[in-house]
Amino acid sequence: MSDDKLILVMSTDTPKGLSGDEDLCEALREHDIEPVLRNWDDPSVDWSEGRFAVLRSTPNYAHHREEFLRWARSVPKLLNSPDILEWNTDKHYLRELAKRGMPIIPTIWLEPDANLTKHQVHTRFPSHGDFVVKPTISSGGRGVGRYTATSAVSRMEAIHHAMDLLSQGSGVMIQRYLSQVETHGEVSVVYFNGVISHTVQKSAMLHAASDEPEPEEIVTARYSSQEEWGWGEEVRRYVHDQIKRTTKHDTQVLYNRIDLVPDGKGSYYVMEIGLVEGNIYLDSAREAVEHFADAIAQRFYW
């Protein structure tokens, strides 16, 4: 092990990482930390090469979750910790937290072991408006589709989508598409070592028509409103409490992204909590890279 090396974990699909990672490497060197990029799915890597490893870009974990978790547990020291990753890589965590009072988008959950027929799946869809079909294990919005309840063609596509996911052993989430996503977008609040770093506003990404190309996501950094900050803190406390109850080892979270969307009633729903790698928008705000490098250095020199 090298005392000055830090491993930034990528994948064979994204070996150079995300936008902003090059700046992160430069910022780490200013802390006398030498970053090295390694792919989690490369069996030749020596994971004791650095003092510890930080996940940065591993979106293909969703297709190899069990293998990914076995790998995570084999790494001498990984942030965030393997116990946290196991909890956060399956979106059933939202159902758990909803039972404890956290406001999530109302969701219908379909499970593979229920052996649902196409007709039974069809009856779970909303009768009007647009809705979204999501796998319970996915990364970066992959495998998510938006459909129109009053279109027979669209409903049939949604049935095929859900049945395909169920046949692969994935749970399915059915959620009404929120018009607030188009009018207000999503808000992501990012924390490092439990302290708020930066907030970004994101444009809508999902079209109802399957033949329309996906639009480019527009991300704008801004300050959190008092209400967004309050909800971010509330959710962070929920997450920390959950981690304390379920995690055997390191309960400190190096990075945490909380995605919020207005509920149309003056408050917010939590859309997702990002504790795996996910995009923490290092390229969105000048201070984001500096904050992340500082947070890593704090853990590095503990």
Q: Tens of pLDDT along 193-230?
A: 999 999 998 876 655 544 454 556 678 887 788 888 88
DSSP per position, 244-273: HHH-SS----SEEEEEEEE-SSSSEEEEEE
CA distance 239 to 223: 22
State the Cα–Cα distance between residues 182 and 238, nearest whole angstrom.
27
- The first and second tokens of residue 285, run together, are 């705000």
| Class of the CATH domain delimited by 179-284 | alpha beta
Tell me what pLDDT residue 267 has: 85
Q: How far apart are CA 132 and CA 175, in angstroms?
A: 5
Q: Pick out the chain residues at pLDDT < 50.
A: 209-211, 213
pLDDT at 117: 96
Closest CA to 208 of 233, 178, 186: 178
Identity of the residue numbered 231: W
Domain map (residue ranges) of the chain: 107-176, 179-284
In this prediction, residue 214 carries a pLDDT of 52
Q: 107-176: what fold? A: Dna Ligase; domain 1 (3.30.1490)
Residue 219, pLDDT score? 80
Which among 273, 201, 271, 261 has a CA at the least distance from the CA of 237?
Answer: 273
Q: How far apart are CA 53 and CA 93, in angstroms?
A: 24
* C-alpha dihedral, 235 to 238 to 240 to 244, nearest 10°: -170
Q: Please give the helix or strand (H or E) that residue 203 lies within, else none.
A: none
Q: How far apart are CA 255 and CA 24, in angstroms?
A: 14
Q: What is the pTM of this model?
A: 0.88
Residue 213 has a pLDDT of 47
Q: What is the pLDDT of residues 232-270, one digit of tens each?
A: 888 888 888 878 877 766 667 999 999 998 888 888 899
The pLDDT of residue 198: 92
pLDDT at 178: 86
CA gap 265, 269 in Å, rounded: 10
73-82 b/e with 16+ CB inside 10 Å = b? eebebbbbbb
